[in-house]
Every structure is written in C-alpha cells, then in structure tokens.
Homo-oligomer: A and B are copies of this chain.
C-alpha cells in the first residue's frame, strides 16, 4: 500500500498535500475509495480510505492507527567527511533504510569536496529529500535529520553531551569496533565518524579523541571505501544492540 507523508490531520481524517498530493494523483493515479497510508514524524501510521481529492488536498478517512515498531531503539548517527560524487547520497539513502538516527556532513582536512554557503545549503536540502524518500520506501516513521555541513568545532554542540563517539581510523591496529561497543550503552546516542576518501589526518583523530572522547576503531583488516565504511559501521552497531536482523 502506498505511504504518504501527511500534511495535517483533523478528527478522523488525514490530509495529503503538495508534492505528496501530486504523487498520489499524477503518478499513482489513486482515486476516491482507494486506500492510502499516512504518517508524520510522530511514529503513528494511519491507514485510510480516500474520500475526496481536489486541487490542493486529498482527504482520507482513518480506519486504523498503528504504532509500528520500525525505528531502531539505539540512536546511531553517521558523521561523514565530505566525499565526492554520490557517496553521501548513497549513505543517506541506505543509512536511512538500515536505521540511522541522523546524518552530519563534516568538513575535514583531506576532503576533496568543498561545500560552503549557498552550495552547502542546497546540498543539504537535496540530502533531506533523499532521506525523506528513503523513509517512505523503507516504511520508517521518523525521518532522520540531515544536519548542516559542520566543522570539527561544531560537533560538540550538534549532538547531545552524552553521545558516545567512535572514529573509524584505518591506522588503528588494536581496537576493533565490536570490542569498543562492549563498553557502550545503547540508551545514549552513538556517533560514528567516517573520513572522506583520503581518511582522517592523525591530528583530526587526536582532536576527536581529546575533545569528543572518541574511541578510534578499526573496521577490520580490509580497506573500506568511505561509503562502505559508513554503512558497515552502522550495520555493526545496530546489529550489536539488536536493532537489525
């Protein structure tokens, strides 16, 4: 059944507006009497019957409300160095499916991709759309926020004080991610720092350890591309805490 982010809800009905309405009418060609599923960012899912469709709004009478348990209980954030091409898009899409809590794009020393000012804002808007589409497709309830492009100094303020940080570092020889997770608590957020194509500099790793109390971790003996590292680390953390498979 088709899922729509709802515009608003009145007693007994939800309403589909804007781009979502366009999709319902022009792409899916749904009609009065068809079913539709609506959700907002509160975790509730409504099953409804379309009662009326006009130029600005499709109204659906609610026949069922559910609180599907699809969100991961452990809040895991990906904080990723600006990478080239579509890697960030890819990580946001699949990270949303896998269950990330949010995403922060990070300016790092070795990042080839430079994003500032208006360009950065436009990219973030595009990335938010990708997350929104992925939420619909994977049947999540809550859209993971995509943060503004951040600098290292911003990180301490972007995520809560109790956040537990790990930094994926290919030169880390002893500490594996799985080992580090044993000392983590799933009730506090976890943030995974992933470097751009050139990785993190030793200075960035030192700063993360010092300022964020980040644990540097290896993701195993094979070198992973930045986008592979992001999703692999996310999968490992969510699986460890029982939020996947």
Task: Write the residues of chain A forming the contact surface with B, with a CB cutoff of 8 angstroms.
Answer: 68-70, 94, 97-99, 137-140, 176-178, 217-225, 227-228, 231-233, 235-236, 238-239, 242-245
Contacts and interface: CB of A to CB of B under 8 A. Distances in A.
A194 B178 CA distance: 25
Contacts of A243: 220
Contact of A178 (B217, B225, B245): B245
A233 B244 CA distance: 10
A231 B233 contact: no
B244 A232 contact: yes
Contacts of A99: 220, 222
A98 B244 contact: no
Given A70-B222, A221-B69, A231-B231, A245 B239 contact: no
A178 to B, nearest CB: 5
A244 B220 contact: yes
A224 B242 CA distance: 16
Contact of A139 (B68, B138, B223): B223
Nearest to A179: B245
Contacts of A231: 228, 231-232, 235
A86 to B, nearest CB: 11
A245 B138 contact: no
B218 A94 contact: no
A134 to B, nearest CB: 9
A103 to B, nearest CB: 15
The 5 closest A-B pairs by CB, nearest first: A177-B245, A220-B244, A235-B235, A70-B221, A219-B245
A220 B97 CA distance: 10
A232 B98 contact: yes
